[in-house]
Structure formats: structure tokens, C-alpha cells
Amino acid sequence: MKKITILIASVMLIFCDANSQGILNKIKVYFNHPVDNSFSTAVNAKYVPHGILDTIAAYINRAKYTVDIAQYDYTAYKTDTIADIATAVNNAYKRGVKVRWLHDSSASNVGLSLLSAGIPRFGSPPVGGIYNIMHNKFVIIDAWDSLHAIVSDGSEDWSPEMNDFDYNNEVFIQSKVLARAFTNEFNIMWGDTTHGAGPNKTNSKFGTTKPNSGTHKFTVAGSEVELYFSPSDTCNTHVIKTINAAKTDLYCGMYDFTQTQYSTPFVNQGKAGIYTGCVLDQYSSGSTAYTALSAIANFAEYTGTYIYHNKFIIVDPSNPCGNPMVLTGSMNWTAAGYNQNDENIIIIHNDTIANLYLQSFAKDIEVIGGKTLTKQSGKGCTVGLNNIEEISTHLDIFPNPSNGHTTISYTLSSDENVTIEVYTIMGQKVSVLADGKRLDAGTYSFTFNSPCAGVYIVKVQDGVNSFTKKIVSVN
């Protein structure tokens, strides 16, 4: 046996920023209902009972310079734990942090009475005409701090019911460029680009009066993140594009779903052989879109005491060789959502984040609908993360999963030119084990030391064979 040992040096730092550990250092996701970690590929999703708003408060407590809040409704009283948000904001204000609070004028927002009198706040225009509501739910912390800028976004309004009982998700992203993009949108509605004493009501713009928010695509820890606001950024087209991108499996969790422009491509994907699943709240039952989705095999309707308030799509979480992604944010899939309301959608292209949402969705559909999802293996991926099998007598990878040290063994039955390369999920080449030179017939052994936990793709090509295989590293 000819043994060749390949150690990765200069490429390690490139990979660490793009794999699961790199992304989880920059993007954190939380769910307020139990998750199914049996669907985990490497990283377990986090279930934080009663804890999403506690987490937001904890981030606000760390703020050094600025806090901008755009929240549809804040329902809190002195006696409940949701008042921790107001306490964190008041404490930030006392220590000199500049705070601005944007809210919807048609919602109760009784929690605003808990804020210090000096904190500037501004309500959106009254509902009427072509304007509906300011339905965003995002927080921007220290947007101009290059190292510590944070944005939180998700589905949750701030109330005891939303935090403790309704189904919601929240994502926290550390990125100065993304934080500034959110800040730009905030400033458009606030009417002022500085953290002054208060809003400029003359210059503020809401709904259809807003301009396009500007930059929409960003890179966070090596993964693409897209950001769009309604109604200026044609969010509906990006929802449709996301649905149509699925190649293996496709899931949605939605509170209000009435638009056939979304349900039709979703159902068509199922008819084309894509494995689909959907959980909807009873709130939108009766709509044509709802009726169409209720016919798919993996469908569940939430009819409980509270509400299923998530708003997400998961694309190809079982196909890391493709383009796994999650679309989430504040926007319900209604005409008002993309035509009238101030909303946002955020699309994260990353297999780890997609898998975290799958773990949540799998538990949701089990609890709500009594259905168990079938684990899928990606088209174009030769094996699934939880079902590692040998795909060819020519190629063997062991152990797999590994603790970071993997042996790749390849057998040639004849003399051939051989190329063996290792890539990240995002298509970033991290190692060349065989560089296309002619090798004699025989078995060759390569040692691959992964710098971080995550999924790698090994691509092999010789004069006879061409295939890929995954390496799962849990170091």
C-alpha cells in the first residue's frame, strides 16, 4: 500500500470561518418549543423555554453605544418577566447608550409605559388607505462597532404569550454590514440618520413611501445572507425564488398563509418529487392557499389554545451538497405582508442553520400533527449525514464521522490520472490530495486532519470513475 499523508496548514483558517463552528460563532438560532435532535447532523438545535426574550434582554445588557428597536407590539407589565426587556433598555439608557424605539401605533404596546421618560420612541402612521402596520421585530445593537455589532430578528412579538406558549423562532447575527443595513431601514422609518433626541416625523417614511433599502446580499462567516424589506424590496419574488430552489426537501412553518403565488410552487415542488412538509396555524384556514397545502402528505394544522407564529421556509436541509437555506423574519405570506406592511425577510444560505430549523420543524409536526418526517438524503450527495455508507469499492473513508482525523483510501484497478479534492459545503476548496497526475494501479491512503467540526465534500475523478462523498467531522 502506498501511503500519502496530507496536512492542511494555510487553508485551515479559510475553512474554519465557513463551517459549522464558524457560522455558529456568528449566527445563533433559538426556538421556544422542543426540538428533535435526532435530525441533527452535527450541531443540536437549542430549545429555550420562556427564553427568547431573556436572550434579547441579555444582548441589550451588553450594549455599549446604540440600541435600535423596531418592534410591532410590546405587551408587558411590571409583574411579568417580559418587563426584563424594559429594564435592560432603561439600564442601557442610564449608562449612556443611545436608544431609539420604533413601534406600531395600532398595537397596544402597553409595555412602553415601563420605559424611562427620556427614551425616544415613535409610532408608525395609523392604519388606513394603502398603509397597514409596522410589523418588524428586529433589534440592532452597536451597529457601528466593527467587532460587536449584533442584529436579532424573527417572528416573536414581545408578550408573555408569545414568549411562553406561541411557537416562535429568533436568530441573532453578529455582522457589522448586516447591522448597518438594518439601521438604514430603521433610519428611513425614523426619519433621521443620527441617534439624536428623537424622530423626524416630517422625513419619516413607511409602507409604500419607502425607497428600496439598498444592499441585499452579505457574507457572514463564509455564508451568504440576504435581507429584504417590504413593501419596497418585492419580498414576494424572493419567497417564490426560495421555494423553487429546493432540490431535495422543502418545509414551511407559517402563521398566516393566504397567497396562492406561494402555495402553488410549493405544491408543485412536491409533485416534482421534492419531499415537502408544512405546519400552518388555523388562523389562515379557509384560504385557497391553505386548502392546497393541506392536501400534501406531511401537513399539520395547529388548532391549540395559542398560535403557531413562526414564519419560515427550510430549503434542502438534507442536501448539504446543494444550497441549503432558511428564510425567516417577520412577514406572513399575505398580500398585506408584501404589499402594505413594513416587514422583513432574511435568507441564510448555510447547511448548519438549515439543519437547526429542520430539528425544530420535525418536532413541531410530530407534536401538532402526529407525523414523523422521513430523513432525506440529498440529490447529488451520495450519502446522508446520519447514514454514512460506502458508495464504491474504490473509495473508503474511515472513521466517518470522525473526531477530526480521517483516512481516505482509494483503489485503482488500472493506471489512471487521479484528482482527489476536499471542499467545504460552500464550495471552497481546502485541500488537494491527488493533483491529477498519473498513478499506478494499487491502493492509496491519504490522511485528512479537519481543523474544525463540520461537513466536507471529497470529490474524486479518474479515467473511469467520478463521484463525491461526505466527511463528517465532530472535533
pLDDT (tens digit, 9 = 90+) per residue, 27-80? 999 999 999 999 998 789 999 988 899 999 999 999 999 999 999 999 988 777
Per-residue pLDDT, averaged over 89-110, amounts to 97
Q: What is the pLDDT of residue 81?
A: 77
Computed over every residue of the chain, the mean pLDDT equals 88
Q: What is the pLDDT of residue 425?
A: 66
E-strand stretches of 356-426: 395-398, 405-412, 416-424
Q: What is the pLDDT of residue 121?
A: 96
Q: What is the dihedral of CA 123, 129, 133, 134, to 10 degrees?
A: -60
Contact by Cβ (8 Å): 73, 80: no
Residues 214-267: tens digit of each pLDDT: 889 999 987 899 999 999 999 999 999 999 999 999 999 999 999 999 999 999
Per-residue pLDDT, averaged over 324-343, amounts to 96
Per-residue pLDDT, averaged over 444-448, amounts to 86
Q: What is the pLDDT of residue 16?
A: 40
Q: What is the pLDDT of residue 340?
A: 95
**Common-topology check for domains 2-15+382-473 and 32-369:** no
Angle between helices 260-271 and 235-244 (to 10 degrees): 10
Q: What is the pLDDT of residue 302?
A: 98
Task: Enumerate the domain spans of the chain.
Answer: 2-15+382-473, 32-369
Q: What is the pLDDT of residue 364?
A: 98
Class of domain 2-15+382-473: mainly beta
What CATH superfamily classification does 32-369 receive?
Endonuclease Chain A (3.30.870.10)
Is the pTM here over 0.85, yes or no?
no
Q: What percent of the chain has pLDDT over 70?
A: 90
Collect all residues with Cβ–Cβ distance below 8 Å to 37 and sequence separation of at least 6. 44, 45, 359
Cell, residue 360? 425544530
Confidence tier at 270 by pLDDT (50, 70, 90): very high
Instruction: Please name every residue paired with 313 in a beta bridge, in sequence order, or none if there are none.
Output: 252, 327
CB environment 193-232: b (16+ within 10 A), e (fewer)? eebeeebeeeebbbbeebeebeeeebebbbbebbbbbbbb
Burial class (CB in 10 A: 0-12, 13-18, 19+), 35: buried
Contact by Cβ (8 Å): 253, 266: no
For residue 392, pLDDT beyond 60: no
Q: What is the dihedral of CA 410, 42, 402, 466, to 10 degrees?
A: 0
Per-residue pLDDT, averaged over 463-472, amounts to 76
Cell, residue 431? 485541500
Greater pLDDT, 189 or 319: 189
Query: In angstroms, rounded to a whole number, what is the distance separating the alpha carbons of residues 321 and 318?
Result: 9
Q: What is the pLDDT of residue 20?
A: 61
Residues 158-197: tens digit of each pLDDT: 999 999 999 999 999 999 999 999 999 999 999 998 777 7
Run of H or E residues at 326: strand 325-329
For residue 427, pLDDT beyond 80: no
Per-residue pLDDT, averaged over 279-299, amounts to 96
